[in-house]
Structure 1
Amino acid sequence: MGKVYFVGAGSGDPELLTLKGKRVLEAADVIIYDRLVHPVLLYLAKDSARFIYSGKYPKNHVLKQKTINELLLEEGRKQQCVVRLKGGDPGIFGRVGEEITTLKSENISYEIVPGVTAASAASSYSGIPLTHRECSSKVTLATAHRQAGEMVDFKGLTENGTVCLYMGVERAKSTQKKLLEQGVSKDLPVAIIEWASLGRQRTVTTTLQELIKTIDDKHIQNPSLIILGEVAAYRKGADWFEEMPLFGHKILLIDTQKIKFETILSYTQEGADVYAIQVGEARDRRYDEVHQQYLKDHSFDEVVYLDQELKTIYNKQWDVLKKEITLGK
């Protein structure tokens, strides 16, 4: 039997991966990764590691949970190191309980490596304290995707407290209705953080009454975290992350050589939203599918050619380059 590691990738910023998570990724024989995992973390993998994409989209699961469970059994039975790489923290709305139960049914060894959850990343990178001596002595992590008939005491939770609502944009209207029906003040401060801790992060503050209008007007989409509570009022304009020199820059690094993880971090450390692609016949073809999937979801408006010859070849021909990457040529 092998061993399965459930690794929390953290939320967005690749440097939020823990040291233990990095060590396990470097040793993995198989990496089963989710959609919200920043795929540059796969650059830590050894040359022989296999990648399996298990990304989930709203209402369109690439691999359904039952299939993922079966996959974990199949790979876990072999004498190898399997990493189930999840966004944020595996134990917080990551379905790790279901997957552990599956492994236990066949006595397959596992470990859980915690990660930085979205609530911590989103609040920290937008300058909002989750607790504050003056107005918040408790924090509740909740999901908008509740079981039918489940009731949440929002009024009790927001009184001298903070509620962090995961993936809440899709059901914001029903959530707003429940809060107002329970007597929560329409003036309750609210913050919405989209793509937390990445260079494309967007933070919007509003009130409970204006929540739906704000989401519609600003075209906010998941992945977003909604923070409900007086702490949201402590954000005053741009904060430390958004003031970094490269914040808001969406940069694609291109090279004919494998791009080092440290090179990628040199851009993210300045606040940029970065992705890296190796091109050419000598490229590591394991990443072709990874690139195709990621470029389907994300676009970049700046290209940095680490190999200057590529600048001559592809100068002002981004469409040609993108087509080659997408087709895996």
Structure 2
Amino acid sequence: MMGKVYFVGAGSGDPELLTLKGKRLLESADVIIYDRLVHPVLLYLAKEAARFIYSGKYPKNHVLKQKNINQLLIEEGRQNQLVVRLKGGDPGIFGRVGEEIATLQREGINYEIIPGVTAASAASSYSGIPLTHRDHSSKVTLATAHRQAGETIDFKGLTENGTICLYMGVERVESTQQKLLEQDVSPHLPVAIIEWASLGRQRTITATVQTMIDAIEEQHIQNPALIIVGEVVSCRKDEDWFEQLPLFGHKMLLMDTKTIDFETILIYTQQGADVYAIQVGEERDKRFDEVHKQYLRDHYFDEVVYLDPKLTTVYKNQRDILDK
């Protein structure tokens, strides 16, 4: 008897952007295959017997090549179990879900797709920028800066009373600006660049088509970042609702000797903090050892919240955790 593979969109950043259906499947899954841009605190929803498999891909350094991921889905999908393929954002928007579905279809393995909140929605909403607006935009285009050879985008037509959201656009911003200007898009058209959308480490900068390269370089903006081009960017007025939350900008590491409850994490994220949580000690859930190492290598948290006061004398900072 074969199992079933569920492609679940984790949403972008804020763990509460996960759908109710996605939450139910994570709680039921026998194995969870998760991507780099998935917030790993979502794994705290998993049952005790669930297995975790990291399939994160770094630019130019893929942990599991796509063909290996496809093979992994076949191997896990053939077993009588519930498999969750957890992807950042929405699986069907630049998530390569089409290739993975085709693999399962060839093998006769059942699957479902559960959509998620894509980066364009999360980044714009958490920056106070509506993607459509009666006065500015009647259409939205989602595009990637990583285009096929010879492929062109009608920037002029799509920005006239419209909004363009460019995924993974920071590395190619020079060629994007060149094409915008070549197509006679106004150099004064507003642009927003949002890094780590909907997390407490989010940064939003505004510029114009003319100044976007300088703005990205000055602020050292890096991927994951979304570029929004269009008059709707002018709707952003200084800091918006998310950036005004009391713990916005705080990078907080929660530590406990007991199993950390997902709801405890949300107490802090709901106030705007960038949060990660770790259980330590002999009774810890050892499935998370590799998860923690991977995440803490990529992200630094400068505030430690000791949910178990005894830990204050053992762990002073994030480095102590990695060393131990």
TM-score (norm 2): 0.99
* SS of alignment partner, residue 102 of structure 1: helix
User: Which ranges of 4 or more aligned residues in structure 1 deviate by more than 2 Å?
Assistant: 316-322
How much has 1:318 moved relative to structure 2? 4.8
2:39 maps to which residue? 38
1:319 aligned partner, one-letter code: R
For the 8 Å contact 2:201–2:249, the answer to whether it is kept is yes
Q: Provide Cα deviations, 1:154-212, integer angstroms capped at 9, x if missing partner.
A: 10000000000001001010111011101111001000000000000000000000011
How much has 1:135 moved relative to structure 2? 1.0
Unaligned 5+ segments in structure 1 are 325-329
1:181 maps to which residue? 182
2:301 maps to which residue? 300
1:257 aligned partner, one-letter code: K
Distance of 1:277 and 1:255 partners within structure 2: 7
Q: Provide Cα deviations, 1:200-239, integer angstroms capped at 9, x if missing partner.
A: 0000000000011111111000000000000011111000
How many equivalent pairs are there?
323
2:198 maps to which residue? 197
* SS of alignment partner, residue 266 of structure 2: helix
How much has 1:319 moved relative to structure 2? 3.1
1:217 maps to which residue? 218
1:82 maps to which residue? 83
Distance of 2:318 and 2:164 partners within structure 1: 43
Unaligned 5+ segments in structure 2 are none
1:71 aligned partner, one-letter code: L
Q: Provide Cα deviations, 1:58-81, integer angstroms capped at 9, x if missing partner.
A: 111111111100000010000000
C-alpha change, 1:236 and 1:91, in structure 2 (3 Å) is same
1:50 maps to which residue? 51
For the 8 Å contact 2:258–2:284, the answer to whether it is kept is yes
Q: Provide Cα deviations, 1:42-92, integer angstroms capped at 9, x if missing partner.
A: 000000100000001111111111110000001000000000000000000
Distance of 1:318 and 1:25 partners within structure 2: 28
* SS of alignment partner, residue 140 of structure 1: strand
Q: Provide Cα deviations, 1:284-312, integer angstroms capped at 9, x if missing partner.
A: 00000000000011000000010011113
1:32 aligned partner, one-letter code: I
Distance of 1:242 and 1:143 partners within structure 2: 27
Distance of 1:38 and 1:319 partners within structure 2: 20
C-alpha change, 1:301 and 1:137, in structure 2 (3 Å) is same
Distance of 2:36 and 2:96 partners within structure 1: 14
1:3 maps to which residue? 4
How much has 1:323 moved relative to structure 2? 1.2
* SS of alignment partner, residue 158 of structure 2: helix
Could you say what the CA RMSD is over the residues aligned between the two structures, in angstroms? Answer: 0.8
2:265 maps to which residue? 264
2:291 maps to which residue? 290
1:153 maps to which residue? 154
* SS of alignment partner, residue 321 of structure 1: helix
* SS of alignment partner, residue 160 of structure 1: coil
C-alpha change, 1:103 and 1:278, in structure 2 (3 Å) is same
* SS of alignment partner, residue 294 of structure 2: helix
1:321 maps to which residue? 321
* SS of alignment partner, residue 284 of structure 1: coil
1:106 maps to which residue? 107
1:162 maps to which residue? 163
Q: Provide Cα deviations, 1:244-289, integer angstroms capped at 9, x if missing partner.
A: 0000000000000110000000000000000000001110000000
Distance of 1:277 and 1:309 partners within structure 2: 15
1:131 maps to which residue? 132
C-alpha change, 1:291 and 1:114, in structure 2 (3 Å) is same
TM-score (norm 1): 0.97
How much has 1:317 moved relative to structure 2? 5.5
For the 8 Å contact 2:91–2:113, the answer to whether it is kept is yes
For the 8 Å contact 2:189–2:229, the answer to whether it is kept is yes
* SS of alignment partner, residue 241 of structure 1: coil
